[in-house]
């Protein structure tokens, strides 16, 4: 008896270990059915899965010599051993099925098989029955040990089937996500292209009319130019993020002074800050030009987006400070304000595309939630890093680092020649 116990334990350990290595569900289920017949001394085995919609069972897996005959056969929930086991969620052993009305004889007729005895246990997923594991025709009566063996193999079957289903769902989700991403990129590209031409004409004609019309109409023309400019900014931001994520963005690096970028961008926001009643200050140590190899235009956009946000969300009489610092291997730029701040729950998401802080203090300022996303994209294109520190009601500090040396460009591709 000790030898038999060792054989059972060895076989169960073998099929358990192979659960993680099998790449094909059918192969693994075949292994389990073979183990079930071998360890219980049965002639055959099958695995049935319950169909919730049809309220009946179909054969998930059977030995190859029965597969063609009963591939499309169905077993009813009522009037079958499988149905009884499924409904009662407990094992059932019948040593003489001819004397038991729960045996569904139709499958024997279809398969040309004679069932004399049967042992069935439920397949459980999270405690809920999803099918039935059966073995047939043991020479002796089925024992409690046979039930324990079949329950162990049924648990492995359920795990394998669940893992297979999860993997298929993941693959389906990935395919759907790729398709949505493709449609998104296509939509952005088409929309940007179609809007640029009419928007350019609106801006051009509005600017031309501003020179011709009297001051009585300057306010209306300024409104056209201002709002057309906002649309142009939205289109450019959308395109910038999409180009980076799709690999279409290019960096044209050259030696650039961050101190000069801070000076120029700050100057372009002085009027906005003055109208808002916000003090805009620069802090760069004298004699430090903060030279780096970057695409100056893109980093100017980064700083512009950070400054625009800081001024927008700082109240009258507030202060915004732009600071540039030289470190051995990188340059750090920060934009500090004493404005409304960002709730801690929103901090992890402020750089997400289209994310906007849900607050009456911020939503009234409008925008699509693209500025910070664009800033993050452009800093990371340079091998840098951007982050934010903030406390609601006290202000925020947005900082980014740029390496002094530009990231190594990829090696050139040598064209194939005969």
Does the domain at 254-403 match CATH 3.40.190.10? Answer given as no
Instruction: State residue 261's pLDDT score.
Output: 94
Distance between CA 222 and CA 125 in Å, rounded? 66
Distance between CA 357 and CA 364 in Å, rounded? 11
What are the tokens at 334?
């920060």
Please provide the DSSP assignment of 138-185 as one string.
-SS---HHHHHHHHHHHHHHHHHHHHHHHHHHHHHHHHHHHHHHHHHH
| Strand, coil or helix: 26 | helix
Distance between CA 407 and CA 253 in Å, rounded? 10
| Strand, coil or helix: 343 | coil
Mean pLDDT of residues grouped by 10 in the chain (418 residues)? 61 68 72 86 88 88 69 87 93 90 88 88 88 91 89 85 79 82 70 73 83 80 79 69 57 89 93 93 89 90 92 92 93 94 89 63 50 86 92 93 68 43
Q: How many CA atoms lie within 13 A of 89 on its CB side?
A: 7
Beta bridge partners of 292: 256
Domain 2-171 - what CATH class? alpha beta
Q: Please choose, from the candidates 311, 295, 260, 308, the residue with its C-alpha nearest in 3D space to the C-alpha of residue 379.
A: 295
118-125/92-94 β-pairing? antiparallel
* Residue appearing with tokens 């769902």: 169
The contacts of residue 12 (CB under 8 Å, 6+ apart) are 35, 39, 149, 152, 153
What are the tokens at 373?
């996303």
Instruction: State residue 251's pLDDT score.
Output: 74
What are the tokens at 47?
């695995």
Q: Please choose, from the candidates 160, 134, 157, the residue with its C-alpha nearest in 3D space to the C-alpha of residue 40.
A: 134
Q: Name the region of 411 (left: φ>0; alpha: ψ -120 to 50; beta: rest).
A: beta
In Å, what is the CA distance from 337 to each residue of 327, 364, 388, 390? Answer: 23, 19, 12, 10
Instruction: State residue 336's pLDDT score.
Output: 96
Distance between CA 373 and CA 371 in Å, rounded? 5
Give me the residue spans of the domains in the chain. Answer: 2-171, 182-245, 254-403
* Burial profile 327-348: b = 16 or more Cβ within 10 angstroms, e = fewer: eeebbbbbbbbbbbbbbeebbe
Instruction: State residue 65's pLDDT score.
Output: 59
Cβ neighbours around 157 below 10 Å, total? 29
């Amino acid at each position: 008896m000790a030898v038999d116990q060792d054989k059972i334990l060895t076989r169960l350990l073998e099929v358990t270990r192979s659960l993680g290595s099998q790449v094909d569900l059918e192969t693994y289920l075949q292994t389990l059915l073979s183990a079930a017949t071998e360890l219980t001394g049965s002639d055959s085995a099958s695995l049935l899965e319950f169909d919730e919609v049809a309220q009946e069972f179909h054969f998930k897996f059977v030995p190859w010599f029965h597969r063609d005959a009963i591939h499309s056969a169905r077993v009813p929930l009522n009037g079958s051993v499988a149905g009884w086991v499924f409904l009662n969620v407990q094992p059932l052993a019948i040593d003489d099925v001819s004397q038991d009305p729960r045996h569904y004889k139709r499958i024997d007729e279809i398969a040309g098989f004679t069932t004399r005895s049967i042992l069935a246990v439920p397949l459980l997923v999270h405690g809920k029955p999803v099918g039935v594991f059966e073995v047939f025709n043991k020479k002796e009566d089925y024992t409690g040990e046979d039930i324990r063996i079949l329950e162990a193999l049924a648990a492995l079957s359920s795990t394998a089937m669940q893992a297979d289903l999860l993997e298929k769902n993941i693959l389906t989700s990935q395919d759907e996500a790729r398709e949505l991403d493709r449609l998104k990129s296509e939509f952005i590209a088409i929309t940007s292209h179609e809007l640029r031409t009419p928007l350019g004409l609106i801006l051009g004609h509005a600017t031309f009319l501003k020179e011709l019309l009297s001051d009585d109409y300057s306010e209306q023309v300024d409104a056209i130019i201002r709002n057309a400019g906002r649309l142009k900014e939205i289109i450019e931001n959308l395109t910038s993020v999409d180009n980076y994520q799709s690999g279409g963005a290019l960096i044209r690096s050259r030696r650039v002074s961050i101190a000069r970028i801070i000076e120029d961008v700050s100057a372009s926001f002085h009027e906005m800050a003055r109208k808002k009643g916000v003090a805009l200050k620069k802090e760069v140590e004298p004699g430090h030009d903060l030279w780096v190899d970057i695409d100056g235009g893109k980093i100017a956009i980064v700083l512009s987006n950070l400054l625009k946000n800081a001024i927008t969300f700082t109240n009258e009489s507030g202060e915004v400070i732009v600071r540039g610092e030289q470190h051995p291997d990188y340059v750090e730029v920060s934009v500090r304000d004493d404005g409304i701040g960002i709730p801690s729950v929103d901090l992890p998401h402020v750089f997400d595309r289209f994310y906007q802080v849900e607050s009456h203090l911020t939503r009234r300022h409008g925008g699509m939630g693209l500025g910070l996303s664009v800033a993050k994209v452009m800093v990371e294109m340079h091998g840098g890093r951007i982050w934010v520190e903030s406390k609601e009601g006290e202000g925020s500090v947005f900082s980014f680092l740029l390496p002094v040396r530009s990231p190594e460009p990829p090696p050139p591709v040598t064209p194939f020649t005969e």
